[in-house]
């Protein structure tokens, strides 16, 4: 397995965290934020695969489309939008929850970068 440069993933995680404020409050409801949804979906999919989950290219594509359509403004909305795409069986939930928490922060914590 080749080792990929982690910088695009770190940049994507930084963009994700910058797009969302506190747990259940949107950072700025009326403000459009430019995020490369394809890059975000690819990076998040890679993290799930690295954790042992089977993730298909169509799931990554569906995730990018879902984020564009749903435009989740809270951690809860983002969680369920993301989980609906990637978790296909209950045995995947622990790995998904761990990676989601690593990328978007644990429940009850702000999503801002320190």
Total domains, the chain: 1
110 domain-assigned: no
**How far from 100 is each of 1, 30, 76, CA to CA, in Å?**
23, 25, 11
Higher pLDDT, 62 or 10: 62
- Residue 27 CA to residue 50 CA, distance in Å, equals 30
113 domain-assigned: no
64 domain-assigned: yes
The residue range of the domain holding 57 is 7-104
The first and second tokens of residue 31, run together, are: 């403000």
112 domain-assigned: no
What is residue 40's predicted lDDT score, i.e. its pLDDT? 87
39 domain-assigned: yes
Render pLDDT for 47-84 as a digit per residue (tens, 0 to 9): 999 999 999 999 999 999 999 898 887 888 889 999 99
pLDDT band at 107 (very low <50, low <70, confident <90, very high): low
User: Above 80 in pLDDT, residue 31?
Assistant: no
User: Above 50 in pLDDT, residue 104?
Assistant: yes
74 domain-assigned: yes
């Amino acid at each position: 397995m080749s080792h990929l440069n982690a910088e695009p993933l770190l940049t994507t995680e930084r963009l994700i965290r910058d797009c969302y404020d506190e747990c259940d409050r949107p950072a700025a409801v009326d403000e459009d934020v430019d995020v490369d949804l394809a890059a975000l979906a690819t990076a998040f999919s890679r993290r799930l695969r690295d954790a042992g989950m089977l993730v298909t290219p169509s799931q990554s594509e569906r995730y990018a489309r879902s984020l564009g359509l749903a435009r989740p403004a809270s951690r809860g909305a983002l969680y369920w939008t993301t989980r609906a795409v990637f978790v296909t069986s209950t045995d995947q939930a622990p790995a998904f929850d761990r990676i989601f928490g690593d990328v978007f922060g644990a429940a009850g914590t702000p999503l801002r970068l320190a």
